[in-house]
Amino acid sequence: MTTAPAQPPQISVVIPAKNEAARIGRAIARIFASVRSACEVIVVVDSADDPTWPEVHAIAAGEPRLRCLVGCYGPGPANAIRYGIDQAGAEIAVVTMADNSDDPRQIDELAALVRHGACVAAAARYAKGGGQIGGPLAKSLLSRLAGRSLRLLARAGTCDATNSYKAYSAAFVREVGIDSREGFAIGIELVAKARRLRRPVAETPTVWLDRDEGESGFRLLAWIPAYLRWYLFCFGRRLTPDQLAARRARLHEQPASTPAPVSDLTAESGPVASGRGQARESATFVAVDPALVPRQADRSDWAAWHVLPVADTMVSSRGAV
C-alpha cells in the first residue's frame, strides 16, 4: 500500500489515453522529471480492458502522485478530459497527451500563467518561437489558419486555440462547464467561452513533435463540425456568466436521468476524488450562480507582463496583437 503525497497538488496533469501502453510510461516519467511544482498525474482510459490500464497501474503502485481512472462519462478523448478535470485535486489542471508530442518542461510555466490571472493558458505552436514537426499537412494548415484568424479577428488571446496542450483554472471550468462530447474540441471551446466572457487568455510558445510510433486517434473530418461551432462562437458580443449559463441550460435541456456512478477502478494510489466527479457532472447541466464562483485572481507585477490586459480585448503572454 502506497502512502499519500506529502502535500496537496498545485497542478493536476490530465492525460486522456487509449492504447498507449507502449508510450505512457515515458510520458509519465518525463512529467515527473520536469515539473517542479507539487503535482499529480491523472491518466483516464475508457475501459480497464485498455492495455494502458495495467501499465499505468503498475507504475502507480510505487508512485503516489499517479492515478489511473476509468472514465464514466462515455468513450472518447473529450469525455476522458472532462472526467479527468472533474477528478482533479488541484485548482490548476493541465491537459497533455500520452504520445510524448508535448514538452512537459512547460507545465510549470503554463500553470504560472493561470496562477497569475489567466483562466486559460495555451502552449502555442504558431507563436513566435514555437513550431510543429511532423503531423498531417491538412490538419496543420487548418489549425494554423483557425488559430491565427481567431487571434487577429476575434482577439481570442492565443494563436493556437485548437492545441489540446493547455492549462486551465479549475474555478473557470466549473463556472462555464464543458459541452464538448467528441474529439479534442475542449481546447477551443474553453478559449471561446473565455473570449465571450472577456476573461484573460495567455499563451507561451511550444514546439510540438509528431508521435514517432503508433497511430493518432485524431479524426479530422468527423470532428470539424465541433471545431467550427466553437470557432464561430468566438465571434460575438460580450456575455455575462448568467447569459452563458442560460445558453448552456437551453442546450442541455433534457429529461432528468440518474447520474452514472463514479468508477471504482482506480490505481492503488488513491480513490476517485470522493465522488467529486458526480457533483460536477450534474452541475454541468444547470445554471451556475456567478456569486458562488471564485473570481479571477489578482494579478501581480509578474503577471502584468505575462498576462497583458488590453481593455475589452485579448490577453497574451507575448504581448497584444
Q: Dig out the grid coordinates for 165 from the structure.
A: 496542450
Cell numbers 452541475: residue: 283
The confidence score (pLDDT) of residue 218 equals: 52
pLDDT of residue 117 exceeding 90: yes
pTM of the model: 0.74
**Which domains, and CATH codes, for the chain?**
11-254+266-286 (3.90.550.10)
Return the C-alpha cell found at 181.
462530447
Higher per-residue pLDDT: 302 or 85: 85
So what's the pLDDT on residue 292?
35
Amino acid at 191: V
pLDDT tens digits, one per residue of 129-176: 998 887 667 667 787 788 888 888 989 999 999 999 999 999 999 999
Predicted pLDDT at 204: 96
Alpha-carbon gap, residue 189 to 12, rounded angstroms = 20
Amino acid at 307: V
89-120 exposure pattern, b = at least 16 Cβ within 10 A, e = fewer: bbbbbbbbbbbbbbbbebbbbbbbbbbbbbbb
How large is the average pLDDT for residues 60-69?
A: 96
| Burial grade of 12 (CB within 10 A; 0-12, 13-18, 19 or more) | buried
User: Contact at 8 Å (CB) between 18 and 70?
Assistant: no
- pLDDT digits over 195-236, tens only? 999 999 999 999 988 756 555 555 556 668 888 899 999 999
